[in-house]
Structure 1
Amino acid sequence: MNPVFPINAPRPAKILVVFGTRPEAIKLFPVIGALAATDGLTVRTCVTAQHRGLLDQVLEIAGLVPDRDLDIMEPDQTLDRLTARLLTGLGAVMDAEKPDRVIVQGDTATAMAGALAAYYRKIPVAHVEAGLRSGDIYHPWPEEVNRRIVAPIADQHFAPTDTAADALRRETIDPATIHVTGNTVIDALHWTRDRIADDPTLAAGLDAIAERFAGRRIVLVTTHRRENFGGGMAAIARAIGRIADRDDIAIVFPVHPNPNVVAVMDAILADRPNVARIAPLDYPHFVRALGMAHLVLTDSGGVQEEAPALGKPVLVMRETTERPEGIVAGTARLVGTDEDRIVSEVFTLLDDNAAYSAMARAHNPFGDGHAAARIARIVANGFGH
């Protein structure tokens, strides 16, 4: 039976939130919670499971049970096949759900296909973490183009920083549709850190590593970018090996399950007593690992935002970044994938206290932990609520 609404009372607007990867889930669960707590909105969620296992870890800790699950992941899936399956699958979900607005996040194939499927149905699109640009369509690849496809479709752009908002304005996006909100990953980080403080068992899986490496400074490593596959990944592995030659440090390395990462690291790093190559961490354990780290070596996007919130310097193993705010603020530094450069920059932070302090104490430009509430308020206001 259809619900009966009082005369002249606005019908709740249905919001469909679409996501498929671990980073999207981390950055959207605070938004989903804020939307659900907002009068006048009904929230539905659809996961594509573009990254099945890593996604499910976040759903569990956030207590999210998706309303729709496309379970789209396949081994070694090509980008064109993935995109085709996402577009048709998400289109079918939108036909069934008939949402009043679709929300996508970031730069994944899921975000791009979700925006395009909504556009084909003339459903308004909101883009969380809008406006990030590197200026190079192949770095990061394919994420840079995914973002650019979403931008002209969306009519609500939630830019995390003024820099991101300026990038959208330069692309002639209507300034009235651009809202600087901060990045929702800071909301997720604060929420998770508080959960761990209340219940340490949520991240107790790192107790053995903390004990094993007590008294050593920890370098946290993450790497998985497609553009680094091949020679870049091999150079990163060799650099990690040289860093691990020092007996005053330890390396904690959650290894991404992609064979292009695992095979290279297995071949070059082998068994190092001060290198903990571990399975990918769920979000509470990753937040704890960030807290344990002295510095972070990464090619990830989100880590460039999370680590500065905990005062951890970030060395970015990429040639460009779509998060230049961290570079400008001094919380992050681009080091590329040159083996010697990576080693030199890590050793500088390990051996030069002034250089380390300058990065660790720099202001984090990515938000204050209240981005999700701002987004929910703007979405509701768009329906007159």
Structure 2
Amino acid sequence: MDLKSGLPFWLIKNGLSKDYNTLDSDIETEVLIIGSGITGALVAHFLCEGGVNCVVVDRRMASTGSTTASTAQLQYEIDTFLFDLIEKVGEENAVKAYQKCLESIYTLEKIIKKLKIDGNFEWRSSLYLASDAKGFKDLEQEYETRKKFKLPVTLLNQKELKDKFNIDKKGALYNDCSAQIDTFKLCTELLNYHKKNSGLVVYSHTDVVKVENKKEHIIAITEKGYKITAKKIVAAPGFESESLLKEKVMQLNSTYVFVSKPLKEEDFWNEKCLIWETARPYIYVRTTKDNRIMVGGFDEDFQNPKKRDALMEQKNKAILKRFKKLFPDSKIEVDFYWCGTFGETKDGLPFIGEHKEHPNMYFALGYGGNGITFSVIAAEMIKDLYLGKPTDSDLFAFDR
């Protein structure tokens, strides 16, 4: 299935990296990682750092799946309000999920600094806008809930929001500990670093079509019939992991994004903060390092790639119209646009760890709008599971 369409900005900006080899023989490794997107790259990083021998395979050219379509906003907020999540999974688990998302942003910055790689990581403040009176009421409840558990949050009323950001909405939640990255660049740099320094091997255009469990190992068989023997497999190919699972664990959605032509510094809002809103469908907004504005949203239930792609022009107009309601004087002009498919779970949380029907496998399924922060959590957790260290794996278990 095509995961994206149009011209993703990150791919145009960075260009395709040097392609990787295609598997053409039987091999053995300690851990096989299926999927070379940001989740697979982070899993490889943590395992390599733990001294584990790894191989990464992908049915596509490495890193060119949904990673190229990500808008790469790093926020500790989950798509589900904390007060709602408490009702779904209990107070302890809900709060811990939010705390882990916050911690993951700092973890990602530490990885980039330690390896001295470039992922265009930039700290940003964040605004969660109340689109109407009901939205502000929800934000008030959310503010009290987050404040109770000492999560970073400030509630802005209508006047404060207008004075500081020149946005005319009922109010907003504000924090100063969000960030943004270039996901495609970070992904390729992580893989390249560990290829050079940790013995990581990456195979692209290598499609795993069958998995066979043995007593002490597991075998992945590729479309061309080659065998990869490993102690464990990590499944990190995004929603395409559905082919391995009998139960339906997520809903497919399509999201639409455009990137503006470069603007002057004075054309931006205060702090260049990340922006999203309580309205459904909503838009989300960020900037890029070369002074563009990236706006996405108006998500649609996924049906098939053709129907998804046919809506692009209509969705772009709707997104631009909603953006101009926020910033009526903006000189924004569309330069690139694309759409992509992503998965979403009922409670907004990922699925990480083992599955009772799949021995010798770990799953890293970071569905939803927090895909990158979930990927960091999944990668670190899977490393600990493999090395026999204690984890909070029950928090993101399939049977939660």
TM range (shorter): under 0.3
**Higher helix content, 1 or 2:** 1
Structure 1 or 2: larger strand share? 2
User: TM-score, normalization: structure 2?
Assistant: 0.25
TM-score by length of 1: 0.26
Task: Choose between structure 1 and 2 for higher RCO, CA contacts under 8 A separated by at least 6 residues.
Answer: 2
